[in-house]
Amino acid sequence: MRDEEKRMETRFRSSLIPPPSSLLPPPSSLAHMRPVSATIDLAALRHNLAVAKRHAPCAKAFAVIKANAYGHGLERALRAFDAADGIALLELDTAVRLRQAGERRRIALLEGFFDQREPAVFAEHRLTAVVHSREQLEMLEGLAAGSALDVVLKVNTGMNRLGFMPDEFPSALAALCAQPGVGEVGVMSHFANADDARGVDWQMAAFEPLVKGTDLSVSLANSAAILRYPQSHRDWIRPGIMLYGCSPFAESVGPEIGLKPAMTLEAQVIGVQNLKPGDGVGYGGIFTAGREMRIGVVACGYADGYPRHAPNGTPVVVDGRLTGTVGRVSMDMLCVDLTPVPQARIGSRAVLWGEGNPIERVAIASGTVGYELLCALAPRVPVVVRE
């Protein structure tokens, strides 16, 4: 390995090593000091991958583990996704670490490389690069002959994010195949409307002529397409949000389409207040009691990853009964209406999302999507792993 590559490799490795600290005790000794936690269910992750594979029995599956496995933890997800044929993510340093840890399956980096020095690192660690721009094609020119870097050429069929336009595809493919350092070549695109009424046919109509008559390996289907459009499954599927138990469709929640929630965020009621008509709750008093009522103060706030912008009535399940938030979410606490839960008291369990309280409903109430809530889980929240 050349000196420059060695320096880059050192940088990748060093970025994975946390700085030592003599000020804090080990995290395990702090795990239960505050009554909030996230349970990650590995059996649910395995189940959801199996659902994806059942829908596309003739395709291989990339388990998409970007964004720290959608907030579930990379190492945990890898344990659960051992039945996947490959994994897909974004960060080169993480991919290198996985190879060094013994991961042997295909690893695809969905945004490819960003620097002309990186293709050599991809090749050394047998990583698959998604190539989506002329600039990336130029970066491949310095790759040594025989490097056998596997590449997936991305086509922009209407998503208008990354990828070559259809009329650019033939010349991009020719340029790629002319590179002596390139190994296997595949092709992919990404659907913009697989989860809504417009569907995928309009994008597939732009894609199909490009690969007709070729033997290129094809990857098209995201979670929504896996579940709804079998004609898109082709050679490799790319399940993402469905692996984590969240429905890709606005009109349904995960359990309604056979998925199991893999993350449950819960906390305890740590205070109870009795309100009179006209009393306000929290910063700004955005909730005012219209009657006598009890509210519970729950040990979870936006510093834990709960959305600050969640409005009054965002669903919370307390002691198995559905209720809703009242007042503005603060850094470390939120408040809930205990009227439907007269037996609730300090120590009662509140499920913010997950089992019994689908994250999709919390997201809709908060004007966002389940993806964002999952990815926003804060590092300070203790995680309990359920096998």
Q: Is 229 noted as a catalytic residue in this protein? A: no
Looking at residue 33, its pLDDT comes to 79
Q: Is 283 noted as a catalytic residue in this protein? A: yes
Q: Which two tokens stand for residue 333?
A: 């606490």
Residue 140 near residue 133, CB atoms below 8 Å: no
Q: Mean pLDDT over all residues of the chain?
A: 93
Residue 336 near residue 349, CB atoms below 8 Å: no
Helix (H) / strand (E) element for 12: namely helix 3-14
Catalytic residue from among 66, 70, 260, 306: 66
pTM above 0.85, yes or no: yes
**184, pLDDT greater than 80:** yes
**pLDDT 10s digits, 225-282:** 999 999 999 999 999 999 999 999 999 999 999 999 999 999 999 999 999 999 999 9
Domains of the chain by start residue, with CATH: 56-246 (3.20.20.10), 263-386 (2.40.37.10)
**pLDDT 10s digits, 138-172:** 999 989 999 999 999 999 999 999 999 999 999 99
Q: Which residue has the tokens 């037996």?
A: 343
How would you label 188-205 residue by residue, b for 16+ Cβ within 10 Å and e otherwise? bbbbbbbbeeebbeebbe
**7, pLDDT greater than 80:** no
C-alpha distances (whole Å) from 215 to each of 42, 126, 187, 195 are 37, 22, 10, 29
Q: Which two tokens stand for residue 302?
A: 């936006």
Catalytic residue from among 53, 212, 276, 283: 283
**28, pLDDT greater than 70:** no
Query: Could you tell me the pLDDT band of residue 1, with boundaries at 50, 70 and 90?
Result: very low
